[in-house]
Chain A
Amino acid sequence: MEQTVKNPADGAPDYNFAYLDEQTKRMIRRALLKAVAIPGYQVPFAGREMPMPYGWGTGGVQVTAAVIGPNDTLKVIDQGADDTTNAVSIRQFFAKTAQVATTEKTAEASIIQTRHRIPEKELREDQVLVYQVPIPEPLRFLVPRETETRKMHALEEYGLMHVKLYEDISRHGHIATTYAYPVMVDDRYVMDPSPTPKFDNPKMNNMAALQLFGAGREKRIYALPPYTKVKSLDFEDHPFEVQTWEDKCGMCGARDSYLDEVILDDQGNRMFVCSDTDYCAERQEAGHRGPQHHDQPLGSADRGKAAE
């Protein structure tokens, strides 16, 4: 019953489309349909070993493998960059096993797999964003046992979560959590958007694109359908705030994007650049310039490994 796909390019032996066998993809697909029907709820699935270590996004890779079809165009980002080892190897994995087109341009992608960032460019209805998640359970650090956290979600027992955030405020004067900042989904489930920076949390709210989350080690899938209410947890006297920077991007001058600090030399010279490399390149192509630009060729060495 299993059908395999021949790779016409290299005459390689038959193998499964997008690596996973059809039965595994069906199982993941069933979990995905439940996940979108119960926004923010973690659906258990029988995860498979992938030909890459955990921490390399095996959960996201399995979700992408179940979703991707021959007509898709895939973009993979690690932090905001398309050119890190992790992003490149995942992109090559699908180019090889599913013969799909790949891109570094957000606007051209039908599926975007990400490890941290949500692209700065607003996503569309015809795009799917797949997150690789290391720790799917937002209550894990409060209660280590899965049976307990499951019960807390069932009973909407989120008081402890609020207490922990409030302790953060009393200790730091503000909520110090900057990554994996918990959100409330459609007024029902507390969800971990990990490990995205909280800067990106507002983009999850009412996003036009479908958002899918895969945790490989913990074998959980969860989802946000398009146009779903996603609210970062906060308090009346300490409202949720995203990070801001005094600087603008040294390359493209953007003030609205998430910036990485880059050490330029051993003299302590540094600059800030957009973590979203495609966003930054597109702005430079459109003629925007930051203070450190000097009209270097696009993708110059200064930018190079900034995101790593």
Chain B
Amino acid sequence: MTPQPQSTSAQTSDLLPGFDHTAFDSNAVFRALLDAMSRPGRIYDLPVAVSAPDGLNKAATATLLAMADMDTTIWLSPSCVTKAAGDHLKFHCGCPISTDVKQADFAIARISDDLSFVTDLAIGNAEYPDQSATLILMVDEISDQPSMTLKGPGIKDTHSLAVKGLPESFHAWRAENHHLFPCGVDVIFASETQIAALSRTTRIEVN
């Protein structure tokens, strides 16, 4: 019954904080991402503590806080679309959120989602293969169990990687994606506490 103070808006008081220290935390998360993309299949711990809004997990949130801004368009799969996630990304990253997956610089989905959208992601073109999307796939568990054997740049001999719940269709898409090189989509697997990546150069053998 007490009237709300005029100075705080209901919207911002619901918001979770972003990084504790923008410069240091962004750098730490980027370095984990750089390591992960440079060494596909190797698993890195999320180096900072972050709060995740409803709809996203911690490593996906940290990845977006570090990498997204007004120059990057985000697409959220339907299962990730919540008011909390939208508000969080708009406030902390200032990034446009599109419902058109073709526009995405970063596409975020859950591993249990219908992943048929992946073939609509931007792959760049022969002259500018960097104009491609990055898929951030939220997963429950990443491990180095040998369910996949990875080869390619960044990998000395082979890396083993297991991602719980990865559907068969994902592997078919990655094989096709590999053939598009230098075009293609790179993937970041994000669990609550860890990340691992697949570069477009990575060859995957499913065991």
Measuring CB to CB, which residues of chain A are less than 8 angstroms from any residue of chain B?
Answer: 1-5, 16-18, 22-23, 25-27, 29-39, 41, 43-44, 66-70, 150-151, 153-155, 186, 188-189, 208, 210, 223-229
Contacts and interface: CB of A to CB of B under 8 A. Distances in A.
11 contacts: A17-B23, A33-B33, A33-B34, A35-B130, A36-B37, A37-B201, A44-B128, A66-B30, A70-B24, A188-B182, A226-B154
Interface residues of B, number: 42
B7 to A, nearest CB: 20
B69 A26 contact: yes
A242 to B, nearest CB: 23
Given A29-B66, A36-B38, A225-B154, 19 more contacts: A4-B23, A22-B22, A23-B69, A26-B26, A26-B66, A26-B68, A30-B72, A31-B130, A33-B33, A33-B37, A36-B199, A37-B37, A38-B201, A67-B31, A67-B34, A186-B201, A188-B181, A189-B182, A228-B153
Interface centre among B27, B181, B182, B186 (most CB of A within 10 A): B27
Contacts of A27: 71
A2 B94 CA distance: 12
B206 interface: no
A186 B130 contact: no
Q: At the interface, is chain B mostly helix, strand, loop or mixed?
A: loop
Given A33-B134, A69-B31, A227-B156, A22 B200 contact: no
Contacts of B200: 37-38
B197 to A, nearest CB: 9
Contacts of B66: 26, 29
Contact of B154 (A25, A31, A153, A228): A228
Interface of B: 21-24, 26-28, 30-31, 33-35, 37-39, 66-69, 71-72, 92, 94, 125-130, 132, 134, 153-156, 181-182, 184, 186, 199-201
Q: At the interface, is chain A mostly helix, strand, loop or mixed?
A: mixed
B182 to A, nearest CB: 5
Contacts of A36: 34, 37-38, 154, 199
A29 B126 contact: no
Contacts of B132: 34
B118 to A, nearest CB: 16
Interface centre among B69, B132, B153, B199 (most CB of A within 10 A): B153
B13 to A, nearest CB: 18
A227 B154 contact: yes
B31 A210 contact: no
Nearest to A153: B127
Nearest to A151: B127
A69 B154 contact: no
A225 B37 CA distance: 8
Given A26-B69, A226-B39, A37 B186 contact: yes
A255 B73 CA distance: 54
Contacts of A35: 130
